[in-house]
Amino acid sequence: MKKALPPTYLLLALAVMTGSHLAVPVYRYWSFPLALTGAVPFVLGILFNVTADRQFKRHETTVKPFQRSSALVTGFPFSISRNPMYLGMSLLLLGVALLLGTVAALIPVVIFPYVMDRIFVRIEEKMLAETFCREWEEYQSRVRRWI
C-alpha cells in the first residue's frame, strides 16, 4: 500500500482547518487587521519549503520521504532545522489559522507537526543516520529537529 506524501497531509489539514473554522468557529480571538499577522508565518513557511526544495535539487538528492538520500544537505534552511519542509508546512498552517482567527482553526496547527514527526521524520532521520553515520551524528548534534 502506497503512503500519502506530506503535501497530502498539508492539504487535508488545510481542509479540516477551513471546515472547522466555518462549521464551528467556537471563539474568534482576533479579526482584521490583527489577523493579517498570519501573513508572516504563512510567507515564512512558503520560503522554507521553496528554499529547502532548491537545496535538495542543488545537491541532486531526493525530496521524497522514504527514499535514500545521496547527499546530506546542511546549508540554509537545514542549518536552522533538520526538517525545514515540515517546519515550513507547519508555519504555513499557523499563518492560515491566524488569518482565520478562530480557535477551531488552530487544532490542525497542533496536530500536524505531531503527525509528520511520527509518520515521516523519525523514519527519515533513522535512514539518514544509517546512510551518513558520523556526518549525521555531527549534524544532529548541532541542529535541532524542528527549531
* pLDDT, position 73: 96
The answer to whether residue 144 scores a pLDDT higher than 90 is: yes
**Ranges assigned E (strand) in 1-147:** none
Q: Residue 115 burial (CB < 10 Å; 0-12/13-18/19+)?
A: middle
Three-class SS of residue 28? strand
Question: pLDDT tens, 11-46?
Answer: 999 999 999 988 887 777 777 788 899 999 999 999
| Prediction pTM value | 0.92
Residue 79 has what DSSP assignment? T
Cα torsion 118, 57, 48, 91: sign: negative
